[in-house]
Amino acid sequence: MNDSTDIRFLLAIRDSGSLVAAARKLGLSPSAVTQRLQQIEKKLDTRLVDRTARGLRFTEEGTLLCRRGAELVQQFDMLFEEVQARRSGLVGTLSIAAPLGFGRRYVAPVVADFQQDNPGVDIVLTLSDQPLTEAADRYDIVVHIGELPASNLVGYAIAPNSRFVCAAPSLLKRFPNPQSPDDLAKLPCIVLRENNEDVSLWQFRKGRAARSVRVPSKLICNDGEVIRRWACEGRGVILRSEWDVADDIAKGNLVRLLPAWKTSDADVIALTHHRVSLPARTKQFMRYLQDRFKPKPPWRT
């Protein structure tokens, strides 16, 4: 193993989870992948992967080789990217994960524009309702909204974002406008299930006063676009990010409730790995993303 190709091959197997999936990723036949793995193990005189009926399990030596090898491959790639960037601009592949709704509306346009401005960069954008729980370590950048759970990732501020309690005017004709958070327990509510949070417990504060309300949730969904539409149809009260409901509030489709009571902010942040030196494409995209939300994010213009 005197170059990076064998390490890249092992990393492809690790990331794919099976020899068959790795074969598809590498454009090889399963038998060719098996043979090459055997050749690497023979060369090192060490078993790297245990193959069982339940799948693959890397041995201690295989795990060490992947972990240390991934660092070496990254350094190797960064060196050549830096040389190439001196002549022809940014190069390489950038993988980004973002929440479904926010990703569609705000991240996707930034990604497309950045790629157009930097044709040497290939970008893979993955949208998910739980971007932090789906192998976040495999992405260069993870866009996250709200409080950051314990993580070894490094956060960069992108844009401020509050959360509002809203309902359609048609619902407020059938139910009284709540005067305190406790009144929400008497109203039909819609909740968004995401990030394994306790989604039906809504928390408020006004000055030194604090309230926690367990709302009755007759409708639950993991897609913010769906619950926003339900709310606009008068089906219930929602607690939703400012970026998602600001337009509907401005148009009168939704009415903000309890404006004197503040809920926890859900600022937009971008997360990267804690590395001494990030690739130039990652750092440049981070700046590009931040600049698109300055001096104020579009939901506050």
Q: Fold identical between 5-82 and 89-160+267-300?
A: no
Residue 150: pLDDT above 70?
no
Tokens of 230: 């339900």
Cis peptide before 119 (omega within 30 of 0): no
More confident residue, 98 or 151: 98
The mean pLDDT value for 132-153 works out to: 76
The mean pLDDT value for 67-83 works out to: 77
Instruction: Tell how far CA 24 is from the center of its chain.
Output: 25
Listed in sequence order, the DSSP H helices in 89-223 are 100-102, 108-117, 169-174
Q: How far apart are CA 57 and CA 51, in angstroms?
A: 7
What's the pLDDT tens digit per position in 114-125?
A: 999 999 899 999
Listed in sequence order, the DSSP H helices in the chain are 5-16, 19-26, 30-44, 60-88, 100-102, 108-117, 169-174, 224-232, 242-251, 280-291
The mean pLDDT value for 114-139 works out to: 82
Give 14's pLDDT tier (boundaries 50, 70, 90). Answer: confident
Class of the CATH domain delimited by 5-82:
mainly alpha
Work out the percent of the chain whose per-residue pLDDT is above 70. Answer: 89
- Assign a CATH topology to domain 163-257: D-Maltodextrin-Binding Protein; domain 2 (3.40.190)
Q: Could you give the 3-state DSSP secondary structure of residue 297?
A: coil
Residue 132: pLDDT above 80?
no
Query: What pLDDT is attached to residue 85?
Result: 62
Alpha-carbon torsion, ordered 83, 88, 89, 92, to 10 deg: -70
What's the pLDDT tens digit per position in 260-297?
A: 999 999 999 999 886 656 788 888 999 999 999 999 99
The mean pLDDT value for 55-62 works out to: 84
DSSP 31-63: HHHHHHHHHHHHHHTS--EEEETTEEEE-HHHH
Q: Which CATH superfamily is domain 89-160+267-300 in?
A: Periplasmic binding protein-like II (3.40.190.10)
Residue 130: pLDDT above 80?
no
What's the predicted TM-score (pTM) here?
0.70
Question: Could you tell me whether strands 217-221 and 189-192 are parallel, antiparallel, or unpaired per DSSP bridges?
Answer: parallel
The domain spans of the chain are: 5-82, 89-160+267-300, 163-257
